[in-house]
Amino acid sequence: MTADTRRIEADIYERLSRVIDPELGRSVTDLGMIAAINAVPAESSTDGNRPAYDVTVHVELTVEGCPLSETITNQINGAVASYPNASLTPHIEVSSMSRDKLDDLVADLKAERKQNPFNKPGIKTRIFAIASGKGGVGKSSVTANLAATFAALGYDTAAIDADIYGFSLPRLFGVHTQPTNLNGMLMPVTAWGVKLISIGMFAGADRAILWRGPRLQRSLEQFLSDVWWGEPDVLLLDLAPGTGDMAISVAQALPNAELVVVTTPQPSASDVAVRSGLVALQVPMKVRGVVENMSYYEHKGERLRIFGRGGGERVSRQLTDALGYDVPLMAQLPLEPELRETGEAGRPAVLDEDGALRADGLGAEFKALAERLIG
């Protein structure tokens, strides 16, 4: 091996250190996925004086048949091809890690997160727990579309379906696969730019979950600690309605979470919604604000208040008085048939078919809500 080839291989390795594994959020070099780099002079040259080099990169994926292997190899191809002396068509040889090497990698990753990673000092993740007093107010739909909005705005976004009995995020995101199990550590499923985990990915959509309180708490702990989230900018939790075991578990496990209360305009919903916010009097969580869903239906330019009016304002006012700080009404979302139709088809309604955030209608409403929350 000549000094030139050693230098080229070292330079390419440095370039590959900027290629990030989409699931683990680490560079492929840090993860030991680059087994070897070989550079040899090519038959042709880039100019009359300087030889070109053919480069072969030996890549070891964490699991055989990794669903993101094409994404990773395309990024590696781009990093190598951008090197001035490399041939324009680098060779990528893909295999999977040995069992011993994978065991060592997983052990190292687990050692970094022996406990809930969202409670460590200096964590940058903003955590929003989406709550409601009763079912049927569109809490899960708000969670799904808000998560998709954050992702479309460029935030690294994760979402946990903490409604164990009534899980619905897999359907709303069109997810029909299970998370990848990396020797006991789970990789969240990514859909529409959002990293997701839900008991529905394991139990199946047609099964009833019959769990008591301790098992509910353990499920949340596993979602937080046994799933490799990286360090997302935003984490959303779709809570079960009411103030039961899961709401208490979230408050205990994530005291830095901010509660967002979803209601509809009618008193029967808003009165109950206040109770879900008053949980903040007994646990270390702050109520960030209120979202009034199904506020109106727009017909020929007129806003029809099908479910009455004022529910969100009532919840905001009562929580502000009870908690002693401002709990604003952050959004009044319209009643849109498309929200149901596209959601049941597996695409958040704020996105177009290409996954881009819609500039008008629901897209604009949720963008304003996301920006207000993150601000």
Output the DSSP codes for 216-237. Answer: HHHHHHHHHHSB-----SEEEE
**80 and 49 assigned to the same domain:** yes
Q: Tell whether residue 135 is among the known ligand binding residues.
A: yes
- The predicted pLDDT at position 154 comes to 93
Which region among 59-68, 162-171, 295-304 has the lowest average model confidence (pLDDT)? 59-68
**204 and 307 assigned to the same domain:** yes
Higher pLDDT among residues 38 and 251, named by residue = 38
**100 and 172 assigned to the same domain:** no
**Which residue from 268, 292, 281 is spatially nearest to 320, judged by alpha carbons?**
281
Predicted confidence (pLDDT) at residue 136 exceeds the cutoff of 70: yes
| Cβ atoms of residues 168 and 177 within 8 Å | no
Does the pTM of the predicted model rise above 0.85? no
**121 and 89 assigned to the same domain:** no
Per mean pLDDT, which of 109-113, 121-125, 280-284 is the most reliable?
Answer: 121-125
- The predicted pLDDT at position 220 comes to 74
Phi, psi (rounded to 5 degrees) for 255:
-65, -15
The fraction of the chain above a pLDDT of 70, given in percent, is 86
Q: Of 67, 96, 112, which marks where a domain is finished?
A: 112
- The predicted pLDDT at position 231 comes to 85
Higher pLDDT among residues 356 and 66, named by residue = 356
Per mean pLDDT, which of 83-92, 102-111, 149-158 is the most reliable?
Answer: 149-158
Q: Tell whether residue 138 is among the known ligand binding residues.
A: yes
- Confidence bin at 113 (pLDDT 50/70/90): low
- The predicted pLDDT at position 166 comes to 73
**9 and 100 assigned to the same domain:** yes
Which region among 82-96, 126-140, 224-238 has the lowest average model confidence (pLDDT)? 82-96
- Provide the domain count of the chain: 2
**58 and 128 assigned to the same domain:** no
**28 and 68 assigned to the same domain:** yes
Q: Tell whether residue 367 is among the known ligand binding residues.
A: no
- Confidence bin at 212 (pLDDT 50/70/90): very low
Q: Tell me how many degrees the CA angle 24-358-144 measures, rounded to the nearest 5.
A: 50
**186 and 38 assigned to the same domain:** no
Q: Tell whether residue 133 is among the known ligand binding residues.
A: yes
Q: Of 112, 144, 160, which marks where a domain is finished?
A: 112
Cα separation of 290 and 277, whole Å? 9
Give 349's DSSP letter. T
Phi, psi (rounded to 5 degrees) for 40:
-135, 145
What is the pLDDT averaged over residues 127-133? 89
**28 and 75 assigned to the same domain:** yes
**Which residue from 104, 373, 118, 112 is spatially nearest to 261, judged by alpha carbons?**
373
Predicted confidence (pLDDT) at residue 46 exceeds the cutoff of 70: no
Q: What is the CA 85 to chain-centroid distance, rounded?
A: 39
**Which residue from 245, 224, 260 is spatially nearest to 138, judged by alpha carbons?**
260
Give me 372's structure tokens: 């207000």
**68 and 151 assigned to the same domain:** no
- Confidence bin at 340 (pLDDT 50/70/90): confident
- Render pLDDT for 259-315 as a digit per residue (tens, 0 to 9): 999 998 988 788 788 877 877 777 778 899 999 998 888 877 788 888 888 889 999
- The predicted pLDDT at position 207 comes to 52
Quick one: how many helices (H) and strands (E) in the chain?
12, 15
Query: How high does pLDDT run on average in the chain?
Result: 81
What is the pLDDT averaged over residues 96-124? 74
Q: Tell whether residue 184 is among the known ligand binding residues.
A: no
- The predicted pLDDT at position 258 comes to 92
Q: Of 87, 112, 137, which marks where a domain is finished?
A: 112
What is the pLDDT averaged over residues 72-79? 83
Predicted confidence (pLDDT) at residue 128 exceeds the cutoff of 90: yes
Cα separation of 296 and 107, whole Å? 52
- The predicted pLDDT at position 210 comes to 45
Q: What is the CATH number of the domain that holds 34?
A: 3.30.300.130
Predicted confidence (pLDDT) at residue 26 exceeds the cutoff of 60: yes
Q: What is the CATH number of the domain that holds 133?
A: 3.40.50.300
**253 and 158 assigned to the same domain:** yes
Cα separation of 140 and 348, whole Å? 11
Cα separation of 24 and 79, whole Å? 19
Domain of 344? 117-374
What is the pLDDT averaged over residues 316-337? 91
Neighbours of 248 (CB within 10 A): 16
Q: What is the residue whose two structure tokens read 């990794």?
A: 66
Give me 104's structure tokens: 């060592």
Give 263's strand partners.
292
- The predicted pLDDT at position 298 comes to 82
Strands 234-239 and 157-162: parallel
| Tally of residues, the chain | 375
Higher pLDDT among residues 295 and 205, named by residue = 295
**270 and 250 assigned to the same domain:** yes
Q: Tell whether residue 166 is among the known ligand binding residues.
A: no
Predicted confidence (pLDDT) at residue 85 exceeds the cutoff of 70: no
- The predicted pLDDT at position 204 comes to 53
